[in-house]
């Protein structure tokens, strides 16, 4: 069975179709999913989804590219992380892709927000879900400054939807993080990413959809769904020369170990 380690079931493209999505997940042998929070305003919906379904979990965090909404404090993140079924802090990180005329120095607010998430993760003992885009050097630098990679730091987690270079993958692994691959790994122009997928130790790999975005081949360009995460596993299996079931089992074990949960078995004859 498979686990989607990163999806957005609270987004309007998916939220209204939840019964259908859960049924399609079951049919595709996707046993569970982590529903990712991107704003504090969204958190009640994300947490309620997880609380209502035994095979869903939630995170709490504010996406680095979010502006004009409630700003998270370390204390607020810790308070919300104590809610049932919350198993991660994030998604968080740095995103310099849309500077909109600003300099990297002007993005100090992003770096301050990232630090609040890291410190909340340390306090709660929960893994971080890291988003980094056009900002890998600063993402790694902030993590190191906050103590990631040092013994007993209490800082770990996953670089989600990984699209960075081999050097960034090595650095993330050296800091103790997992690396998660999305449908991008199936795209024709993703040869360099597939090389990274061959390199990352299997016991540090996760798979995800980041749905409703980035649907894998053969669904590229359509609305993504957690039911499509086996297609990501199929690419990893082909690149690594192993069976799809081996990828499924390994990434499910990795998810359970990283997030300290037990994935429920697939119910016979219907969705969980």
Give the chain's domain count: 1
| Residue 272 lies inside a defined structural domain of this protein | no
Q: Residue 200's domain spans which residues?
A: 2-259
**Does residue 270 lie in a domain region?**
no
CATH number (domain holding residue 254): 3.20.20.140
Return the SS3 of 134.
coil
Task: Give a yes or no: residue 138 inside a domain.
Answer: yes
CA angle (146 as vertex; 169, 63 as ends), nearest 5:
65
d(CA 82, CA 238): 40
Q: Tell me, what's the pLDDT at 209?
A: 98
Assigned domain for 266 exists: no
In a domain, 213, yes or no: yes
Strands (E) in the chain, as ranges, are: 2-7, 30-35, 56-60, 86-95, 128-133, 157-159, 178-181, 205-207
pLDDT of residue 272: 47
* Separation of CA 57 from chain center: 12
Query: Is 203 a domain residue?
Result: yes
Tens of pLDDT, residue by residue over 89-115, are: 999 999 999 999 999 999 999 999 999
Distance (Å) of CA 226 to CA 8, 9, 33, 243, 260: 9, 9, 7, 20, 21
Q: Is residue 36 part of a domain?
A: yes
CA 261 vs CA 4, 173, 177, 254: distances in Å: 14, 22, 17, 10
Q: What is the pLDDT of residue 254?
A: 98
Residues 186 and 209: their CA atoms lie apart, in Å, by 11
pLDDT at position 269 is 54
Quote the pLDDT of residue 268: 63
pTM above 0.85, yes or no: yes
Residue 69 corresponds to which tokens in the numbers above?
């909404």
**What local confidence, expressed as pLDDT, does residue 203 receive?**
98
User: Is 268 inside any structural domain?
Assistant: no
Written as six digits, the tokens of 14 are 């998916």
Distance of CA 247 to the CA centre of its chain: 17
List of the chain residues with pLDDT < 50: 272
Q: Which residues are within 8 A (CB) of 199 and not within 5 positions of it... i.e. 6 or more apart?
A: 166, 169
Strands laid side by side in the 128-133 sheet: 2-7, 30-35, 56-60, 86-95, 128-133, 157-159, 178-181, 205-207
Give the residues across from 60 on adjacent strands: 89
Residue with token string 């990501």 = 232
Tokens standing for residue 105 = 């120095």
């Amino acid at each position: 069975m498979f686990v989607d380690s990163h999806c957005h079931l609270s987004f309007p493209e998916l939220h209204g179709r939840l019964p259908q999505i859960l049924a399609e997940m079951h049919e595709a042998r996707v046993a569970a999913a982590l529903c990712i929070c991107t704003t504090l305003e969204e958190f009640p919906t994300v947490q309620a989804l997880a609380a209502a379904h035994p095979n869903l979990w939630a995170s709490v965090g504010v996406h680095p590219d979010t502006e004009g909404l409630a700003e998270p404090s370390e204390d607020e993140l810790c308070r919300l992380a104590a809610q049932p079924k919350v198993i991660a802090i994030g998604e968080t990180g740095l995103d310099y892709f849309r500077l909109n005329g600003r300099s990297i120095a002007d993005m100090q607010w992003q770096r301050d927000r990232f630090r609040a998430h890291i410190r909340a993760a340390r306090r709660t003992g929960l893994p971080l879900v890291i988003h980094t885009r056009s900002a890998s050097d600063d993402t790694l630098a902030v993590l190191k400054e906050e103590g990631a990679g040092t013994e007993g730091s209490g800082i770990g987690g996953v670089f989600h939807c990984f699209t960075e270079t081999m050097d960034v993958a090595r650095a993330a692994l050296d800091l103790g993080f997992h690396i998660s691959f999305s449908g991008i790994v199936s795209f024709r122009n993703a040869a360099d990413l597939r090389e990274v997928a061959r390199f990352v130790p299997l016991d540090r790999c996760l798979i995800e959809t980041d749905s409703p975005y980035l649907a894998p081949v053969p669904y590229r360009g359509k609305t993504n769904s957690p039911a499509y995460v086996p297609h990501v596993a199929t690419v990893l299996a082909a690149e690594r020369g192993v069976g799809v079931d081996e990828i499924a089992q390994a990434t499910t074990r990795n998810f359970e170990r990283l997030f300290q949960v037990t994935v429920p078995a697939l119910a016979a004859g219907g969705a969980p």
